[in-house]
A and B are shown apart, each in its own frame.
Chain A
Amino acid sequence: MQAKTGDNVIVDTKDKEVKGILMPVPESEGEVVILKLESGYNIGIDKKDVKEIKLVKSYSEKKQKTAEIKQNKKLPTVSILHTGGTIASKVDYKTGGVIAKFSPGEIIGMFPELTKIANIKSRKIASMQSEMMRFPHYNIMAKEIEKEIKSGTDGIIITHGTDTMHYSSAALRFILEDLSVPVILVGSQRSSDRGSSDAGLNLISACYFIANSDFADVAICMHENLSDESCLILPALKTRKMHTSRRDAFRPINTTPVARVNFNDKNISFMKKGYSKKDNKKLKLKLFNEKIKVGLIKTHTNMFAEEFLAYKNFDGLVVEGTGLGHLPNEETDEYTKENKKIFDSLKEMIKNGLITVMSSQTIYGRIQMNVYTPMRELQEIGVLGHLSDMTPETTFIKLAWLLSNYKKKEVKGLITKNLKGEISERIEDKTFLI
């Protein structure tokens, strides 16, 4: 019988015999047998040297017990919808593989504190890394949220991979109209297998915030700083992942956080005055049109018209320009002829119906397309975005959502109009690099 992953085996090579448990081999590692030794260490043995793998004992999977959960009538109900990412997964210590955990029993097994805060409902609605997401996933999330609200939940937590969590929060904020309960997106930057994972604090803080505040909007809940002391509730439309790996990677852009949840004394302090509150409004969904094509292009020096032309059959294009809203569109000397080509191509594409919106790669600050002549020329040919302070990601989501739900003519007017708090009319001094 052929030995399989998890089996106890003896690997016989030309000069040694090694006892251990057969481990899965990642595709990237090539022709090797990975064995977990009795000491717990894994080692790789070259396949070409292996004469025989003798089966000692087959792997038997442990039946997992799931605890029954008693409902506490005094506590509110919080629904946790899982989309994937590291937050709701744990390691199978035997094989090293990551197994997703979705049932309420399993979630509570990992974070028992939750039972003191709310009655937990939990299920899986997707199982993916967030960078793999497409528009249909935003619609799936919205529909599942609607289902939960209809069933009478007091709030919803979406567990999500962190890479595009700010795209999803923006998408949901636009889709969900007249939201009556909070929808909080939660991720983790350190995987749950390690004792130091930020998953627990983020999830518990989100749950506590839902159960103990009157907030009823979409937001992100993540670490405030490097300590396990507090989480921030961040605005759905004005937050961005600003670091590849830190726990406190999610930061508000051009605005303040909504609130702080202090973990130790369980204190919620609001930092924003106006926010939508829980009430009996009836939820309406304005979903994404899954066929809409919107692009996002970052400008740079030495650009080519071809880069823009790739979007000629798209419905919309967000340009992540430089500074106040520039792109290389002028021929200033013998070396800059290509810039003129860029300008002409863009002009042609806009004329043919491509809705083009400017946003800035500085991330912070507002677009102002009157300051320099080249930008005025861009406005002349129909580049939108003047006076917007939306992040490139929010601009992208908003443009796609508008194109899904409005006529092109309306879209042009709405893109720079503040619909749901995506544009700050005033940018306060103390919102930079916080």
Chain B
Amino acid sequence: MEIDYGQINFKCGIEIHQQLDTHKLFCSCPSFIRDDKPDIVIKRILRASAGESGEVDAAALHEVKKEKQFVYQAYSDTTCLVELDEEPPHDVNKEALKITLQVALMLNARIVDKICFMRKTVVDGSNTAGFQRTALVAADGFIETSKGKVRIDTICLEEEAAKIVKRSEKEDIYNLSRLGIPLVEIATAPDIKDPEHCMETAKKIGMILRSTNRVKRGLGTIRQDVNLSVKNKARVEIKGFQDLRNMPRIIENEARRHLKLIEKGEELKKEVRKANKDLSTSFMRPMPGSARMYPETDIRMIRPDASKIKIPELITDKSERLEKDFSLNKDLADLITKSNKTEFFIKLAEKYKNIKPLFIADSLVNSGKEIKRRYGKEIDISEHIEEVLDYLNKGNISKKAVFEILVEKAQGKKVDYQKYSLMSDEEIKKILREIIEKNKGAPFNALMGQAMARLRGKADGKKIVEMLKKEIS
């Protein structure tokens, strides 16, 4: 039975974490995530007792808690003393702050007068300091969706945590290459109406983030946490969405789980759950209490200056522009913008007037994939396409040859353009006559087949058809 989400008082908000494509937030190390053999390994203990609630717990006096050891792996060439918690943070990465301000403006949010970095206590060892540095940069924004406004409560800039390598009872091993990568965290209000709407919201925010052109791409570089409750019962948080397309089903299944438990009269727990492959969710850990935060005194407060911030064109707007200006279909336009080749495409389309923009777009975004699929070779199309299109634009080679030349380049061969040069009309005529002579009485299609076999890559197909027709008549 379909769920009426209005009826069950479905409350849902989403939190999006996106890694930025800059150096680290508080040091000059590259944001380079790796898992090769580390040359630095250190062991640390995080003391739970240091800096607890201020009240001295009498029981703690007699019970010395067994502390877990944390092993940190690091690299001399891409991590430094800051990640090792051996040097105070440098000044905030200006580039990362600028991108965050851009995002804030694109989300129609109000930027705070002064940004205060905070220390958010983290005890699981994922941060060598025992806290994560995070700051509220803007608040009270919104995005428009097909089902109305979704408010954006907060936009924060924070440090990415270290990556877990292995957990065991005695010690947890973390790799520090990820620690300190700038993350933008965007939290919506619980304005999401239903599971489909949640995916739409996630996609829209993701698109806005990518429009800055300065966010990291690929697996694990953006993460969505969904918070939901039904019938005003306990709230759960779902982490670990691998594929946004599955998000609606996972949320729907989770809502059904809630409804079933409520119907049975069982208690729902506030907890963090993991999205599973079978689109169900499973218990991960109890919901943490509100995190303790106190000021990061090593970093001075920052007065953000948004006056010179340029708002980038949205990817969706760019796509529309490509469709309109170059008569591309929507799929192709989206592919161009998504792969971040808009400017390059426009340059090529304007330079090569004799080639249809559609052909340029298709070659730009699809030929690489096609070569990978058919020949198993990687090629950076952007690097080679201009040279090949140059020949095509001058009429020296056929459209068909473009792909074949790119294949040769992918295979590391030296391209002999002579081989692909088009034949003159006289030469074509000569060959066609030969074929007609040898195959007297053969049907047109058979002749055409032979002609194509002989002339592939040497003459344009359309031209061959026309000339063949002429020769026969």
Binding site for B on A (CB under 8 A): 16, 23, 28-29, 32, 34, 36-37, 39-46, 49, 62, 64-69, 90-93, 96, 105-106, 108-113, 115-116, 190, 192-197, 199-201, 225-229, 244-247
Q: Compute how far the CA of A302 lies from the CA of B178 in the bound complex, rounded to whole angstroms.
A: 47
Query: Is the Cβ of A40 less than 8 Å from the Cβ of B43?
Result: no
Given known contacts A16-B110, A42-B295, A113 and B64 CB-to-CB distance under 8 angstroms: yes
Residue in chain B with minimal CB distance to A188: B50
Quick check: is B129 within 8 A (CB to CB) of the other chain?
yes
Specify which of B48, B61, B116 is in contact with A44 (CB 8 Å cutoff).
Answer: B116
Closest to B88 in A: A245
Instruction: Find the residue from B54, B118, B119, B291 having the highest chain A CB count within 10 A.
Output: B54
- Of chain A, the residue at the smallest CB distance from B290 is A40
* Cβ contact within 8 Å between B119 and A194: yes
Is there an interface contact between B131 and A194, defined as CB atoms closer than 8 Å? Answer: yes
Closest to A66 in B: B56
Out of B64, B85, B122, which one reaches A112, CB within 8 Å? B64
CB distance from A114 to the nearest CB of B (A): 9
Residues in A whose Cβ lies below 8 Å from that of B120: 40
CB proximity to A under 8 Å, residues B263-304: 290-295, 297, 300-301, 303
Query: How far in angstroms is the closest Cβ of chain A from B217?
Result: 28
The 5 closest A-B pairs by CB, nearest first: A44-B114, A195-B130, A109-B56, A40-B293, A195-B46
Separation in Å of the A148 CB from the closest CB of chain B?
Answer: 23
Find out whether the CB atom of B295 lies under 8 angstroms from the CB atom of A108. Answer: no
Check if A245 sits within 8 Å of B42, measured CB to CB. no
> In the bound complex, do residue B47 and residue A109 qualify as a contact, i.e. CB atoms below 8 Å apart?
no
Is A44 touching B301 in the complex (CB atoms < 8 A)?
Answer: yes
A291 to B285, CA, bound (A): 64
**Nearest chain-B residue to A34 (Cβ)?**
B116
Shortest Cβ distance from B323 into chain A, in angstroms?
Answer: 39
Query: Measured between alpha carbons, how far is A201 from B49 in the docked complex, in Å?
Result: 12
Name the A residues within 8 Å of B8 (CB-CB): none
A323 to B116, CA, bound (A): 46
The answer to whether A43 and B115 touch (CB under 8 A), given A109-B56, A111-B49, A192-B50, is yes
**Would B118 and A40 count as touching, CB distance under 8 A?**
yes
Q: State whether the Cβ of B453 lies closer than 8 Å to any Cβ in chain A.
A: no
20 contacts between A and B (CB under 8 A): A16-B140, A42-B293, A43-B115, A44-B113, A44-B116, A46-B114, A62-B55, A67-B58, A69-B61, A93-B53, A96-B294, A106-B56, A112-B49, A193-B119, A194-B131, A195-B47, A197-B130, A228-B43, A245-B81, A245-B87
Q: Which of A41, A49, A67, A111 contacts B113 (CB 8 A)?
A: A49
A109 with B86: CB separation less than 8 A? no
Query: Of A45, A68, A93, A96, which is within 8 A of B54 by CB?
Result: A93
Residues in B neighbouring A226, C-beta threshold 8 A: 42, 84, 86
- Are A40 and B50 in touch, CB under 8 angstroms? no
CA distance A110 to B48 in the complex (A): 9
Report whether B48 and A67 are in contact in the complex, using a CB–CB cutoff of 8 Å: no
Residues of A within 8 A of B290 (CB): 39-40
B218 interface contact, C-beta 8 A = no
B58 adjacent to A93 (CB under 8 Å):
no
With the chains together, A245 CA to B118 CA distance in Å? 20
A295 to chain B, nearest CB (A): 31
| B416 within 8 A of partner (CB) | no
- Whether, in the assembled complex, B215 has its beta carbon less than 8 Å from a beta carbon of chain A, the answer is no
Any A CB within 8 A of the CB of B245: no
